């Protein structure tokens, strides 16, 4: 295996993480908004379902998604009817699976961030003539920058390290669904330790650098008592 | 243009049942002790809460008619509200706060200069004093060009000197605005100072309206101080507060 192909899984992991982050910032913000500002029927059920991927073994979630997105699953059939191709073992398929798997990592920080916003300022925005949609972009989003940043970082890093769900839904198709964590597993299984070292090191360094930037950005917030 | 409201709403300890009417260019002061339902009245007029039953009209426009199932959303009522705790946008500078819903920026600038906060235009609300924040909130409300202005205990968090200055500023501008202003306070002195009409509310009901109307019509005659000397007359203040105690019986 050449160096170029070693780094291919990293590139797929990066693309997957970026796509999942973009989708989840929008979907997570929508769900968090509903949970914080609207009456949601059967709220405990909805909140439990959103948080389920945190506690569920990835293989269990992956199995359900495999059934749902497969040719006999409702979602898989609908997709095939619309686009004429299967979702399984495709990049789009693993993006959808990742979105479900990382959903709580987007919703929880956004929900906490929205809940911290003083409701009066949102009411003031409505009183001043803004619809809930406009108030969301002009008041909620600018006052939740930290929440959006936290959600983006958590989702991105969580997706970069995804394994079980991706393996179940996407398999390990080189150049399509073989992400870094799967490539590392396969390298170790076939005793290609050099490849495993390279991929692991790049993944570890990238994750550490990401967190370092975040912690440096937050420096001073918890500097302890002074004086 | 006049605002008329007949409101009925069951609250946890009592039922709110009031009728109000305020003409353009006038201030109607709703006065009463804490927990009497004053803020709920404003929130219902603003559309932030819905009444169980009632009718609210502004000129020819029907905002609420519970029988007909009409409920105009807050953002379509063309009103502004000065909140008790300011409710300014923390992510915006003072100028951008005032411009938030302003029809034109020159009006925002003019108002800020008039209320003496133009020098704070680039400062965030969290870095200015309570009085300055309240002036910002008033400018923000006025700059939006409302058809009705609601003020919820607008001066309660201010020191006496700032409170006096702002009361005078609000009293001076009401004629120019020519819109109904509904002002809510627990301070009878403030209601007497600002209100063209006073509606005392206790436990959700209009209570002994004639008493405060009497005070209002006799102000400056010795029975009640007028606007120039009211703030300095401690004896009268006590007398008025005694009246308020009477409400609670």
Each domain of chain B, given as residue ranges in start order, spans 3-78+152-157+177-247
Question: Shortest CA distance to B133 belongs to which of B149, B117, B113, B119?
Answer: B117
> How many helices and strands, by DSSP H and E, does chain B display?
8, 11
What are the residue boundaries of the structural domains of chain A, listed by start? 3-215
Other beta carbons within 10 Å of A4: 8
CA gap B187, B40 in Å, rounded:
17
Given this model, what pLDDT does residue B202 score? Answer: 86
Contact assignment for B74 to A142 by CB distance below 8 Å = no
CB nearest to B144's CB, from A129, A131, A139: A129
* pLDDT exceeds cutoff 90 at B154: no
pLDDT in tens, B169-208: 888 888 788 899 999 998 888 888 888 988 988 888 887 6
Point out the least confidently predicted range of A193-197, B37-41, B90-94, B225-229: B225-229
pLDDT bin (cut points 50, 70, 90) of residue B229 is very low
CA gap A63, A101 in Å, rounded:
12
Given this model, what pLDDT does residue A4 score? Answer: 54
Radius of gyration of chain A (CA): 20
CA gap B183, B231 in Å, rounded:
18
Give percent above pLDDT 90 in chain B.
53
Give A161 to chain B, closest Cα distance, Å: 35
Contact assignment for B81 to A126 by CB distance below 8 Å = no
Q: Which of A117, A125, A129, A130 to mutate to test the interface with B (most CBs of B within 10 A)?
A: A129
CB B50 within 8 A of CB B44: yes
pLDDT bin (cut points 50, 70, 90) of residue B233 is very low
The CATH architecture to which B3-78+152-157+177-247 belongs is 3-Layer(aba) Sandwich (3.40)
CA gap B177, A194 in Å, rounded:
78
Two tokens, residue B180: 């109904």
Give B101 to chain A, closest Cα distance, Å: 6
Q: Which residue has the higher pLDDT, B63 or B203?
A: B63
Give percent above pLDDT 70 in chain B.
83
Q: What is the value of pTM for the model shown?
A: 0.81
* pLDDT exceeds cutoff 50 at B246: no
CA gap A7, A9 in Å, rounded:
6
Q: Which of B81, B93, B96, B136 to mutate to test the interface with A (most CBs of A within 10 A)?
A: B81
Contact assignment for A127 to B78 by CB distance below 8 Å = no
Burial class of residue A40 in the structure, from the number of CB atoms within 10 Å of its CB (0-12 exposed, 13-18 middle, 19+ buried): middle
Class of domain A3-215: mainly alpha
Name the B residues in 41-70 with CB < 8 Å from any A CB. Answer: 46-48
Strands lying side by side in the sheet with B27-31 = B70-71, B61-65, B53-58, B3-10, B15-22, B205-206, B197-202, B27-31, B181-185, B148-152, B79-82
Phi, psi (rounded to 5 degrees) for B133:
-65, -40
Mean residue pLDDT of chain B comes to 84
């Amino acid at each position: 295996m050449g160096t170029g192909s070693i780094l291919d899984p990293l590139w797929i992991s990066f693309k997957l993480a970026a796509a999942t982050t973009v989708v989840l910032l929008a979907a997570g913000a929508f769900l968090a908004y509903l949970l914080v500002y609207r009456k949601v029927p059967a709220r405990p059920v909805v909140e439990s379902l959103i948080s389920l991927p945190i506690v569920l073994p990835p293989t269990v979630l992956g199995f359900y998604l495999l059934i749902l997105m497969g040719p006999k699953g409702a979602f898989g059939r609908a997709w095939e009817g619309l686009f004429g191709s299967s979702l399984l073992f495709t990049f789009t398929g693993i993006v959808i699976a990742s979105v479900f798997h990382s959903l709580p990592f987007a919703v929880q920080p956004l929900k906490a961030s929205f809940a911290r916003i003083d409701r009066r300022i949102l009411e003031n925005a409505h009183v001043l003539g803004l619809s809930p949609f406009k108030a969301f972009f002009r008041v909620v989003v600018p006052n939740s920058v930290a929440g959006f940043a936290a959600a983006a970082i958590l989702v991105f890093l969580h997706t970069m390290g995804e394994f079980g769900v991706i393996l179940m839904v996407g398999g390990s198709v080189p150049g399509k669904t073989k992400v870094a964590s799967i490539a590392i597993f396969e390298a170790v299984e076939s005793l290609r330790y050099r490849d495993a070292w390279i991929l692991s090191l790049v993944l570890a360094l990238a994750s550490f650098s990401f967190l370092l930037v975040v912690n440096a950005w937050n420096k001073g917030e918890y500097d302890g008592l002074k004086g | 243009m006049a605002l008329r409201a007949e409101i009925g709403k069951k609250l946890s300890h009592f039922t709110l049942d009031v009728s109000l009417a305020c003409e353009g260019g006038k201030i109607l002061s709703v006065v009463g002790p804490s927990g009497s339902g004053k803020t709920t009245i404003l929130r219902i007029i603003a559309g932030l809460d819905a009444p169980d039953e009632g009718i609210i009209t502004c000129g020819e426009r029907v905002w609420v008619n519970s029988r007909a199932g009409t409920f105009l959303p807050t953002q379509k009522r063309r009103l502004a509200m000065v909140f008790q705790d300011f409710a300014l946008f923390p992510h915006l500078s003072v100028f951008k706060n005032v411009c938030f819903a302003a029809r034109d920026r020159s009006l925002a600038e003019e108002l800020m200069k008039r209320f003496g906060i133009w020098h704070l235009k680039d400062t965030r609300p969290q870095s200015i004093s309570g009085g300055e924040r309240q002036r910002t909130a008033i400018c923000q409300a006025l700059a939006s060009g409302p058809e009705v202005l609601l003020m919820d205990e607008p001066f309660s968090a201010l020191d006496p000197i700032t409170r006096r200055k702002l009361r005078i500023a609000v009293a001076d501008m009401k004629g120019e605005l020519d819109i109904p202003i509904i002002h809510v306070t627990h301070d009878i002195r403030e209601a007497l100072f600002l209100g063209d009409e006073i509606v005392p509310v206790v436990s959700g009901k209009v209570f002994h309206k004639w008493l405060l109307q009497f005070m209002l019509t006799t102000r400056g005659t010795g029975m009640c101080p007028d606007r120039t000397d009211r703030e300095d007359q401690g004896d009268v203040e006590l007398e008025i507060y005694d009246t308020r105690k009477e409400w609670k019986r």
